[in-house]
């Protein structure tokens, strides 16, 4: 079959993407650079985590932001703290780092490139575990999605396109894409809300009262596309079963 | 073969074995002349087929010079 090499390549690529998501997250969680945490750039994450200098989220997940949905968490929190940071930067005591792309804000807030920030106060192990769990969940979901896609391609490569297993995979993938982003936003909201409340109570920031988070509609749309695809797949699976054993 | 041996709740029995033996023909030869894979003919011969195309049945009957009723019957 002429499409065999393409399918083989697609399967391999899907599996590589799945594994890369996991490896990247694990790698950066352990070895990523702790820029902006008050420790030298390039300090492994586990060192500054161990020293109790864990930032909120950015440096924990930033390197994988393009790979795992953790970028939602990062950007939302940055957005939420934006006003607080801006307020603190209006403080006459805040000095701009000359010639650099960073500003030293009040209470350990660093603003880089005018929009990124890290807050180098200790958020506590409970919050770290919650944040890390959410990130890991996203990475695992990401990996599972691509792994299941590879499974569908593998079946197609073997000539069995419309199978019950393929339908099951699509249903799971669709569910993950539709429910995942919403669950992600809710979980983020809960964690971020608690962190911000704690930081406010500790006098770290004067925060904006509220912010609006929206689920990732692109992902949800993709989930809906998969929903349609799963319906088609199921019908194909029924047809394939009908002709099974036909001579 | 007893009806209990048949799958999918049907009682259709295939007699390709007897027809081939009576004509001194092999399954491979029949497959070549009918234009159906030997795997599929084997499925039919061993009563594992769930359905038969009319075109396949016609070709088999042409080659074996018989009627569909000679190839298939219903077990009581």
Every domain of chain B and the residues it spans: 3-74
The token pair at A75 is: 């950007």
Residue B64 reports pLDDT greater than 90: yes
- A247 touching B (Cβ < 8 Å): yes
Across the interface, do B49 and A247 touch by the CB < 8 Å criterion? yes
CA–CA gap between residue A131 and residue A191 (Å, rounded): 7
CA–CA gap between residue B64 and residue B16 (Å, rounded): 9
CA–CA gap between residue A107 and residue A87 (Å, rounded): 12
Higher pLDDT, B56 or A142: B56
Domain B3-74 classified CATH 1.10.760.10?
no
Least CB–CB distance from A245: residue in B36, B51, B56: B51
Higher pLDDT, A128 or A40: A128
Longest dimension (CA), chain A: 86
Contacts of A246 in chain B (CB under 8 A): 49-53
Q: Which of A69-73, A136-140, B34-38 has the lowest mean pLDDT?
A: A69-73
CA–CA gap between residue A130 and residue B55 (Å, rounded): 65
Q: Cα Rg for chain A, rounded, in angstroms?
A: 22
CA–CA gap between residue A153 and residue A141 (Å, rounded): 18
Q: Confirm whether A247 is domain-assigned.
A: no
The token pair at B50 is: 């769930």
Higher pLDDT, A93 or B30: B30
Higher pLDDT, A140 or B66: B66
Q: Residue B45's pLDDT is what?
A: 93
Contacts of A247 in chain B (CB under 8 A): 36, 40-41, 43-44, 49, 51-53, 56
- DSSP readout, A85-96? HHHHHHSTT-EE
- A246 touching B (Cβ < 8 Å): yes
- A243 touching B (Cβ < 8 Å): yes
Residue A189 reports pLDDT greater than 80: no
Q: Residue B17's pLDDT is what?
A: 93
Across the interface, do B52 and A243 touch by the CB < 8 Å criterion? no
CA–CA gap between residue A231 and residue A224 (Å, rounded): 11
Per the structure, the complete domain to which residue A30 belongs is given by 4-242
Q: Confirm whether A148 is domain-assigned.
A: yes
Residue B66 reports pLDDT greater than 80: yes
Contacts of B46 in chain A (CB under 8 A): none
To the nearest whole Å, the CA of B42 is away from the closest chain A CA by 10
Angle, CA B75 vertex, CA B73 and CA B76 arms, to 5°: 135
Terminal Cα distance for chain B, rounded? 11
CA–CA gap between residue A109 and residue A133 (Å, rounded): 25
Residue A190 reports pLDDT greater than 90: no
Q: How many domains does chain A have?
A: 1
Q: Residue A177's pLDDT is what?
A: 81
Residue A194 reports pLDDT greater than 50: yes
């Amino acid at each position: 079959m002429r499409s065999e090499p393409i399918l083989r390549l697609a399967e391999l690529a899907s599996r590589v993407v799945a594994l890369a998501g996991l490896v990247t997250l694990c790698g950066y969680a352990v070895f990523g650079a702790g820029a902006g945490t008050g420790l030298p750039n390039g300090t492994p994450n586990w060192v500054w985590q161990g020293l109790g200098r864990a930032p909120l989220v950015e440096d924990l997940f930033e390197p994988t932001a393009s790979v795992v949905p953790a970028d939602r968490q990062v950007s939302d929190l940055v957005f939420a703290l934006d006003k607080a940071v801006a307020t603190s930067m209006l403080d006459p005591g805040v000095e701009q780092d000359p010639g650099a792309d960073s500003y030293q804000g009040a209470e350990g807030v660093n603003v880089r490139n005018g929009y990124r920030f890290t807050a180098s106060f200790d958020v506590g192990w409970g919050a770290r575990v919650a944040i890390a769990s959410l990130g890991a969940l996203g990475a695992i979901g990401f990996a599972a999605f691509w792994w299941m896609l590879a499974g569908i391609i593998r079946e197609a490569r073997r000539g069995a396109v419309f199978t019950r297993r393929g339908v099951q995979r699509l249903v799971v993938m669709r569910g993950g894409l539709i429910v995942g982003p919403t669950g992600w936003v809710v979980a983020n909201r809960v964690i971020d809300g608690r962190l911000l409340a704690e930081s406010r109570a500790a006098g770290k920031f004067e925060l904006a009262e509220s912010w609006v988070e929206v689920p990732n509609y692109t992902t949800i749309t993709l989930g809906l596309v998969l929903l349609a695809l799963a319906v088609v797949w199921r019908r194909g699976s029924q047809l394939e079963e009908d002709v099974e054993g036909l001579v | 073969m007893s009806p209990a041996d048949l799958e999918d709740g049907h009682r259709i029995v295939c007699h390709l074995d007897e027809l081939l033996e009576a004509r001194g023909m092999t399954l491979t030869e029949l497959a070549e002349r009918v234009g159906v894979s030997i795997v599929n003919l084997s499925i039919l011969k061993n009563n594992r087929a769930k359905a038969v195309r009319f075109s396949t049945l016609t070709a088999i009957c042409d080659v074996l010079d018989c009627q569909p009723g000679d190839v298939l019957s219903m077990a009581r």
